[in-house]
Amino acid sequence: MPRRERRAQLLESALEVFVAQGYHAAAMDDIAERAGVSKPVLYQHFPGKLDLYLALLDSSCDMIIDNCREALASTSDNKDRVAATMRVFYSYVASEEGAFRLVFESDLTSEPDVRERVDRVTTECASMIADVIRTDTGLPDEASELLAVSLVGMAQVSARFWLAGGGEITQDDAAALIAGLAWRGIRGYPRTDDH
């Protein structure tokens, strides 16, 4: 199997094991077995368990950040931007792969390299949102950033709560409900144009 395909296979197997067992309980033996390879093959691609975890975490963080960027760029209507961004977080946590657990529920957040990557999701998504807030409201940087971090936090926490609840509210309805709350709060800030 070509190196790139093998690496993708190993990452997929590792994701399944880490999501099911958490970092500390997962063993390289389990990951190699899930991938159908020997441990030496696994170690050819990843020198250790932390390296493998960080590679998965990088990929997962990049995905949600890229999706947030796309949601913000998808329209110039801020109400629609709020809704699209909420859908990003709800879709991310609802994914069958469970990759969100690596980012939002990691049992390894005391590890500096992991903490840095987990914080990057909040920081980068909030930075993009803050740019929109600052441009549209004229608020100072610090105020725009605080509002943006609050919106990201609302999206992350509510999406995880919704998923854990297993209730009757559909994913789309839950995202729309929280987007409505966020929009009712953020729309009250002054805009620099007539939108």
Check if the beta carbon of residue 30 is closer than 8 Å to that of residue 47.
no
Of 90, 94, 96, nearest in space to 175 by CA: 90
CA distance 42 to 31: 8
CB-based contacts of 52, cutoff 8 Å, min separation 6: 10, 11, 14, 28, 31, 42, 46
pLDDT of the residue at 192: 53
pLDDT of the residue at 191: 62
In this predicted structure, which of 45-54, 60-69, 97-106 has the lowest mean pLDDT? 97-106
User: In the structure encoding, which two tokens stand for residue 29, read together?
Assistant: 């033996």
CA distance 152 to 147: 9
Q: What pLDDT digit, counting tens, does each position of 54-88 carry?
A: 999 999 999 999 999 999 999 999 999 999 999 99
**pLDDT average, residue stretch 21-27:** 89
Q: Would you put residue 49 in left (φ > 0), alpha (ψ -120 to 50) or beta?
A: alpha
Judged by DSSP in three states, 30 sits in helix
CB-based contacts of 65, cutoff 8 Å, min separation 6: 120, 121, 124, 125
Mean pLDDT of the chain: 90
Q: What pLDDT digit, counting tens, does each position of 144-166 carry?
A: 999 999 999 999 999 999 988 87
In this predicted structure, which of 74-83, 93-102, 110-119, 137-146 has the lowest mean pLDDT? 93-102
pLDDT of the residue at 43: 93
CB-based contacts of 97, cutoff 8 Å, min separation 6: 15, 19
pTM (two decimals): 0.85
pLDDT of the residue at 10: 94
Q: Is the pLDDT of residue 195 over 50?
A: no
pLDDT of the residue at 123: 96
